[in-house]
Structure 1
Amino acid sequence: MTNADTYRVRMTGISKRYGTMQSLDNVSLTLKPGEVLGLVGDNGAGKSTLSKVLSGAVIPDLGTIEIDGKPVSFTSPADARAAHVEMVYQDLSLCDTVDVAGNLFLGREPKWKLAGIPILDKKTMHERARHMLEGLGIVIPDTHLKVENLSGGQRQSIAIGRAASFNPSVLIMDEPTAALAVAEVEAVLELIRTVSARGVSVILITHRLQDLFLVCDRIQVMYEGQNVAERCIAETNIEEVVNLIVGRKFSARSAGQSIERGASI
């Protein structure tokens, strides 16, 4: 067994109820330094709620969280960020009318003072932005471009780059490859590989199951607010993962193949 001290994240007995709905029921999650964990499940399985607990956006009713072996208690995303936990949400939270550099440094722009008045140091900001993007292998031709003029993959890369620039120990990504073209998907997956190679622990939430087998070390499957399975990625396949997600033997409809009795698609 792996010693508990080697875990970057240990969540134990996490529960959360909204009125009569039990969103999370005694859920646990572990994550090692530099590990990429695929967190999967059908809509309503609880994976987004669990990730929001770890990112400080949701306060659990029960359960404990440890980061690098130390107990933590998050009441806001700022608390999680102070513990070096970052989350990239599906909506990206980018400012479309602000340029690339401005989005990367939003809220922490470099400044200099003139007669005691802080002035935005645009030159330094763009220089740092270029170095930041190059270090992550992100190809953006000009940091002066407004985000609204970028492709979906470039926007996703900017959101991930911004989170990575906070030097996180844990990076949570919610559907980072949704609605992207094939080439853009590969660029985002390569960015995940780059970040994890630096020792950052990554949680990847996705419905694109093929992506799991390209970047993940392990997967955790959730069903109706509970853990149902964990698998090393080398010891499973897409068919098994689908079966675990839907909670029953899945039989796909295809030409010449009948659906198992009692099953529905």
Structure 2
Amino acid sequence: MTEPVLTGRGLVKRYGHVVAMDNTDFDLNPREVLAVVGDNGAGKSTLIKTLAGAVIPDAGDIRLDGKVVRFHGPLDARQHGIETVYQDLALAPSQDIATNLFLGREKRRPGVLGSIFRMLDAKSMRTEASKIMAELGIGITSAQQTVETLSGGQRQGVAVARAAAFGTRVVIMDEPTAALGVAESAKVLELIGKIRDRGLAVVLISHNMPHVFEIADRIHVHRLGRRVALVSPKTHGMTQVVGLLTGALEIDADGNVVEVSEAVTTGLS
């Protein structure tokens, strides 16, 4: 069995009387795309923010490569090789692609110019940005092109490229194809596959079931603050996954998908 790269066990998060995470588990294997699906209010955003260091759980453990880690903020998660692409992308539209790629991690010129005068090494950043974008197949004319001149899909590509450039273990993507057209969505899905091929594990949060079934290796179904199923798109259909996330279906003790009324009856017999 392959040891998961990132796990959560018994994760709990309460906001007053609201339980956002209810003793939930999480498992992400190396070099896989794991889709996290669930209705609005299911608690998947809290789960993802916990794994990204933005939310500190009230209870439970997070393990990275089998070792317990404590994240006190997003920077801690980033230092452990976990990068997150949020839905708003967090890009600076008036700045060029290279600047956005190295935002918050700017490279400085060698010697006293960088250490004392803190001058940026713009040339090096542009060269490296162009290389990264080319490796991922993101079509741009120049790393000096400003983000505000890019299409929605290209902007998503810049945000994803930034995560891929600095993430060493995990890349988390929150609704990366939202508000994109068919062609641009296809390019983003292709980009996710390339990131997996580079050796990174990818967590994909999405409401788009066709996209999930096209790219995901496994599907984490979240409902009422916890994981209710972990299935493969090769063995479970889209209708079954929708039934699991709405509560119409559930997994019985033998691992079979059954109607809730049937599961209750079986449990009573």
TM-score for the superposition, normalised by structure 1:
0.89
**Cross-structure match for 1:35:** 32
Alignment pair present for 1:75 and 2:91: no
Q: Could you tell me which amino acid in structure 1 is paired with residue 210 of structure 2?
A: Q
| Deviation readout 1:129-179 (Å, 9 max, x if unpaired) | 100111111111221121111111111110010111113201110000001
Q: Distance in 2 between matches of 1:214 and 1:197?
A: 16
Equivalent position of 2:257 in the other structure = none
List gaps (5 residues or longer) in structure 1. 250-265
Partner of 1:253: none
Aligned to 2:152: 152
Q: Structure 1 counterpart of 2:12, which letter?
A: S
The verdict on how the C-alpha distance between 1:114 and 1:59 changes in structure 2, with shifts beyond 3 A counting, is: closer
Does the C-alpha gap of structure 1 residues 143 and 243 become closer, same or farther in structure 2, counting only changes over 3 Å?
Answer: same
Alignment match, 2:57: 60
Per-residue deviation, residues 41-62 of structure 1 (Å, max 9, x unmatched): 0001111110100000000001
1:140 aligns with 2:137: no
The residue that corresponds to 2:263 in the other structure is none
Q: Mapping of 1:92-131 within 5 angstroms?
A: 92-112=89-109, 113-114=112-113, 116-131=116-131
Amino acid at match of 1:69: G
Compared CA separation, residues 200 and 114, structure 1 to 2 (3 A) = closer
- Classify the secondary structure of the residue corresponding to 1:117: coil
- Correspondence 1:23 to 2:20: yes
Paired residues of 2:82 and 2:167 also in contact (CA < 8 A): no
SS at match of 1:45: coil
Paired residue total? 246
**2-structure distance, mates of 1:176, 1:110:** 27
For the residues of structure 2 that align with 1:80 and 1:43, how far apart are their CA atoms? 25
SS for the counterpart of 1:234 is coil
CA distance in 1, matches of 2:49, 2:98: 27
Look up the match of 1:261: none
Provide the identity percentage.
48
2:84 aligned with 1:87 = yes
Aligned to 1:213: 213
Give the whole-Å Cα distance in 2 for the aligned partners of 1:109 and 1:73: 26
Distance in 2 separating the partners of 1:114 and 1:227: 52
- Mapped to 2, the partners of 1:15 and 1:34 lie a distance apart of 27
Cα displacement (A) at 1:198: 1.8
SS at 1:173 equivalent: strand
| Superposed displacement of residue 123, structure 1 | 1.8
Q: By how many angstroms is 1:88 displaced?
A: 0.6
Partners of 1:114 and 1:157 in 2: CA distance: 32
CA distance in 1, matches of 2:118, 2:56: 36
Q: Deviations over 1:231-261 (max 9, x none)?
A: 1110111111111122227xxxxxxxxxxxx
Q: Matched residues in 2 for 1:142 and 1:229: separation? A: 44
Structure 1 residues 53-83: Cα deviation after superposition (integer angstroms, max 9, x where no partner): 0000000001001100111011101111111
* Moved segments of 4+, more than 4 Å: none
Aligned to 2:259: none
How far residue 114 of structure 1 moved from its aligned partner, in angstroms, is 3.8
- 2:118 aligned counterpart, secondary structure: strand
Whole-Å separation in 2 of the counterparts to 1:62 and 1:9 = 17
Structure 2 SS opposite 1:242: helix
- 1:11 partner letter: G
Q: TM-score, with normalisation over the residues of structure 2?
A: 0.88
Q: Which amino acid aligns with 2:175?
A: E
Aligned-residue offset at 1:109: 2.0
Tell me what 1:174 maps to.
Answer: 174
Q: Which moved more, 1:108-117 or 1:178-187?
A: 108-117
